Amino acid sequence: MVAKISLGNSLYGAICYNGEKINKEKGRLLDTNKIYNDGSGTVNLHRVYEDFMRWMPSHTKTERPMMHISLNPHPDDRLSDTDYTALAHEYMQKMGLGDMPYLIFKHMDIDRHHIHIVALRVGTDGKAVSDRNNFYRSKDITRELERKYNLHTAERQRITSDMPIRKIDLSGDIKRQVANTVKMVGMRYKFQTIGEYNAILGLYNIRCEQTDGRVNGREYHGLVYFATDDNGNTIASPFKASRLGKFASRTAIDSRMERAKDNIDIRPTKQSVSEAMAESSGKDDFIARLKERNIDLILRHTDTGRIYGATFIDHNTRTVLNGSRLGRQFSANALEQWFTAGERPSVVPIQPDTRQEQPQPDTQPSQSDSQQPESGNAQSNTAGQQTTGGKSQGHQPFSQGQPSQQFQHSDTSAHDDVPSIPGLDLFHTGPGFDAEEEAFYRAMQRRKRKKRRGPRL
Q: The domain spanning residue 29 has which CATH number?
A: 3.30.930.30
Residues 82 and 210 in one domain: no
224-233, 348-357, 413-422: which has the minimum mean pLDDT? 413-422
Average pLDDT over residues 386-410: 41
Q: Give 22-76 pLDDT, tens digit per residue.
A: 887 888 999 999 999 988 999 888 899 999 999 988 888 888 899 999 998 887 8
Specify the pLDDT at position 440: 64
Given a contact cutoff of 8 angstroms between Cβ atoms, the answer to whether 54 and 63 are in contact is no
> Would you say residue 166 lies in a domain?
no
Instruction: Give phi and psi for 452, each to the nearest 5.
Output: -70, -35
> Would you say residue 95 lies in a domain?
yes
Average pLDDT over residues 254-260: 93
- Residues of the chain with pLDDT > 90, as a percent, come to 42
Q: What would you report as the CA-atom Rg of the chain, rounded to the nearest whole angstrom?
A: 32
Secondary structure tally for the chain: helices H, strands E: 14, 13
> Would you say residue 33 lies in a domain?
yes
Residues 15 and 132 in one domain: yes
Asked whether residue 423 carries a pLDDT value surpassing 50, the answer given is no
How would residue 433 be classed by pLDDT, with cut points 50, 70 and 90? very low
> Would you say residue 381 lies in a domain?
no
Beta bridge partners of 118: 68, 103
Specify the pLDDT at position 205: 95
> Would you say residue 7 lies in a domain?
yes
Average pLDDT over residues 337-344: 84
Specify the pLDDT at position 23: 82
Asked whether residue 352 carries a pLDDT value surpassing 80, the answer given is no
SS (H, E, C) 382-446: CCCCEEECCEEECCCCCECCECCCCCCCCCHHHHCCCCCCCCHHHCCCCCCCCHHHHHHHHHHHH
DSSP output for 151-185: PPP--PPPP-TTPPP-PPPTTS-HHHHHHHHHHHH
Residues 283 and 235 in one domain: no
Average pLDDT over residues 292-315: 94
Q: Give 354-394 pLDDT, tens digit per residue.
A: 444 444 444 444 444 444 444 444 444 443 444 434 433 44
Question: Among 66, 129, 54, 62, which Cα is nearest to 94's?
Answer: 129
Instruction: Give phi and psi for 206, each to the nearest 5.
Output: -135, 140
> Would you say residue 387 lies in a domain?
no
Given a contact cutoff of 8 angstroms between Cβ atoms, the answer to whether 207 and 195 are in contact is no
Full-model pTM = 0.54
Residues 144 and 9 in one domain: yes
Q: Which domain holds residue 446?
A: 394-453
Specify the pLDDT at position 428: 38
49-58, 219-228, 297-306, 354-363: which has the minimum mean pLDDT? 354-363
Specify the pLDDT at position 404: 40
How would residue 183 be classed by pLDDT, with cut points 50, 70 and 90? very high
Residues 89 and 123 in one domain: yes
Residues 113 and 199 in one domain: no
Question: Among 182, 197, 177, 320, which Cα is nearest to 248's?
Answer: 182
Residues 21 and 96 in one domain: yes
By the 10 Å C-beta count (0-12 exposed, 13-18 middle, 19+ buried), 445 is classed as middle
DSSP structure class, residue 301: E
Q: Give 126-175 pLDDT, tens digit per residue.
A: 888 888 888 889 999 999 999 988 888 876 666 666 778 989 988 777 88
What is the maximum alpha-carbon separation in the chain? Answer: 104
How would residue 432 be classed by pLDDT, with cut points 50, 70 and 90? very low
Instruction: Give phi and psi for 224, each to the nearest 5.
Output: -125, 135
Give the separation between CA 73 and CA 76, rounded to whole angstroms: 8
Average pLDDT over residues 254-267: 92
DSSP output for 265-280: --HHHHHHHHHHHHH-
Question: Among 415, 411, 422, which Cα is nearest to 447's?
Answer: 422
200-214, 262-276, 375-389: which has the minimum mean pLDDT? 375-389
Asked whether residue 303 carries a pLDDT value surpassing 80, the answer given is yes
Coil, strand or helix at 92: helix
DSSP structure class, residue 246: G
Given a contact cutoff of 8 angstroms between Cβ atoms, the answer to whether 107 and 68 are in contact is no
Residue 154's identity, in one-letter code, is A
Instruction: Give phi and psi for 9, each to the nearest 5.
Output: -120, 5
Residues 27 and 123 in one domain: yes
Give the separation between CA 164 and CA 65, rounded to whole angstroms: 39
65-79, 222-236, 371-385, 428-442: which has the minimum mean pLDDT? 371-385
Coil, strand or helix at 361: coil
Specify the pLDDT at position 426: 37
Asked whether residue 412 carries a pLDDT value surpassing 70, the answer given is no
Residues 40 and 121 in one domain: yes
How would residue 399 be classed by pLDDT, with cut points 50, 70 and 90? very low
- Expressed in percent and rounded to 5, the helix, strand and coil fractions of the chain are 35, 20, 45
How would residue 320 be classed by pLDDT, with cut points 50, 70 and 90? very high
Non-local CB neighbours of 274 within 8 Å, separated by 6+ positions = 347, 348, 349, 350
Residues 84 and 17 in one domain: yes
Given a contact cutoff of 8 angstroms between Cβ atoms, the answer to whether 207 and 226 are in contact is yes
Domain count of the fold of the chain: 4
Where among 263, 281, 316 does a domain terminate?
263
- Tell me the average pLDDT of the chain: 79
> Would you say residue 363 lies in a domain?
no
Beta bridge partners of 210: 223
Residues 130 and 208 in one domain: no
> Would you say residue 35 lies in a domain?
yes
Question: Among 289, 251, 277, which Cα is nearest to 334's?
Answer: 277
Specify the pLDDT at position 455: 57
Question: Among 151, 165, 164, 177, which Cα is nearest to 76's?
Answer: 151
Specify the pLDDT at position 351: 57
Residue 39's identity, in one-letter code, is G
Residues 404 and 322 in one domain: no
Q: Give 74-125 pLDDT, tens digit per residue.
A: 878 888 999 999 999 999 999 999 999 999 999 987 767 889 999 999 988 8
